[in-house]
Amino acid sequence: MSFEESGITHKRLDDMLIAALRFQMREREELFAKLEELRNECQEYIAGPAFAVFYWDTGLEGIDTEACLPVTNPVEIGDIRSRMLEGGEVFTMLHRGSHENVEESYREIGGLLVEHGLNPENLSREIFLELFPDSPQRNVTEIQVSFVNWEQRLADNLERVLGADDRAEVLRDLDQISLGSSCEERKTWVNYAMERLAALAGEADSFDVLSRCAHIFSPRRIESLRAIYERNLDIDEVLKAMEADPDWYEKPARDGDIIYVTKVPRNRQGYEEATDEAEKRMHYCHCALVRTKPSDVHPAFCYCGAGWYRQIWEGILGKPVQVEILKSLTNGDDTCQFAIHLAR
């Protein structure tokens, strides 16, 4: 299905001055109360409809949520803080009625992104165009889901590492695909791009380019782990903290200056209930471009997945690390395993 047929549209959001209250949301009523508090304190500066930002990768007890109002002037009262909210690219759709079934709209957006070989980020917004807490059937909410514009990240990092001429060579025929291209069309172009990159660059430069194209790992999580490390420069203390949150950190194991980690399945229940290897791979892989048939994707593409761990450990240590791919679905393995070589 195309995005047009589904009612899902692509938007570029501008930066926006907001007044916000950030909290761990357990019930929707908490969000509505925060929005009311914002309205009361920001009345003369309100510049648009209220909305919420959800950080799906940082909540430990509830959902890490930011209740927001666009404002014309900064507001700093009590727990309310103002800042510039960064814009970006999103896919959006309108959700009408109660928020009790809002997950259905998220699944619809997410499913269509996967069909086109696109990956959602762990960030979304809900814009409350019409909000009636006492009459939820009248609600009109615009859901905005951030996604990884992988080709743009690739272009930026090719320019950074290899320069404009090699960037143009690797990106040859990029105009033949778009956000609306099918997963197979996108995969075909990516494979040719990986071959051109391999012809132009060594392994180190290819890693540097592709590992910076990965999903953005939560800066808050990295800051928390970096604080643990900086207390006494003890990596084992960091690993203990990671072990307490295995869904995000996958129980890493240390052998001297090397950290070993094996990815957990994207959909653990689906993976455990799968009846054949193809179904297992589909539920295991976190990348929409790879999961349908990993053997059809150039192995170098998984340097992108290695970038997830590069972000984490360079953020913790404050210095470069090298991530080695030990196993990957694109190489015919049944798991994805990485070795993070810590710089001395």
* Tens-digit pLDDT profile for residues 40-55: 999 999 999 999 999 9
Joined together, the tokens standing for residue 341 give 């070589």
Q: Which of 47-51, 183-187, 281-285 has the lowest mean pLDDT?
A: 281-285
The answer to whether residue 59 scores a pLDDT higher than 80 is no
Joined together, the tokens standing for residue 173 give 């025929």
The answer to whether residue 2 scores a pLDDT higher than 80 is no
Nearest to 334 by CA among 298, 269, 283, 273: 283
3-147: what fold? Answer: Multidrug-efflux Transporter 1 Regulator Bmrr; Chain A (3.20.80)
The predicted structure's pLDDT at residue 236: 95
Asked if 239 and 224 touch (Cβ cutoff 8 Å), the reply is no
Name, in order, each residue with C-beta under 8 angstroms of 325's C-beta and a sequence gap of 6 or more: 299, 302, 303, 305, 306, 331, 336, 337, 338
* Residue 318 phi, psi dihedral angles, 5° rounding: 70, 25
Query: Per-domain residue ranges for the chain?
Result: 3-147, 150-201, 219-342
Average pLDDT across the chain, whole number: 93
The answer to whether residue 98 scores a pLDDT higher than 90 is yes
Alpha-carbon gap, residue 218 to 225, rounded angstroms? 11
Residue 222's pLDDT band (cuts 50, 70, 90): very high
Alpha-carbon gap, residue 329 to 303, rounded angstroms? 12
The predicted structure's pLDDT at residue 315: 96
The predicted structure's pLDDT at residue 229: 96
Residue 246's pLDDT band (cuts 50, 70, 90): confident
Provide the 3-class DSSP secondary structure of residue 86: coil
Mean pLDDT of 192-219: 95
The answer to whether residue 79 scores a pLDDT higher than 70 is yes
In the sheet with 140-147, reading across from the earlier edge strand, the strands are: 9-13, 88-96, 140-147, 120-130, 51-55, 63-70, 16-25, 81-85
The predicted structure's pLDDT at residue 344: 60
The answer to whether residue 168 scores a pLDDT higher than 90 is yes
The answer to whether residue 4 scores a pLDDT higher than 90 is no
pLDDT tens string 122-162: 999 999 999 998 899 999 999 999 998 999 999 999 999 99
Mean pLDDT of 282-287: 91
Residue 61's pLDDT band (cuts 50, 70, 90): confident
Mean pLDDT of 27-41: 95
Query: Measured in whole angstroms, how far is the alpha carbon of residue 22 from the centre of its chain?
Result: 19
Mean pLDDT of 245-257: 89
Alpha-carbon gap, residue 22 to 53, rounded angstroms? 9
Nearest to 245 by CA among 218, 285, 211, 207: 218
The answer to whether residue 337 scores a pLDDT higher than 90 is yes
The predicted structure's pLDDT at residue 51: 98
Asked if 225 and 312 touch (Cβ cutoff 8 Å), the reply is yes
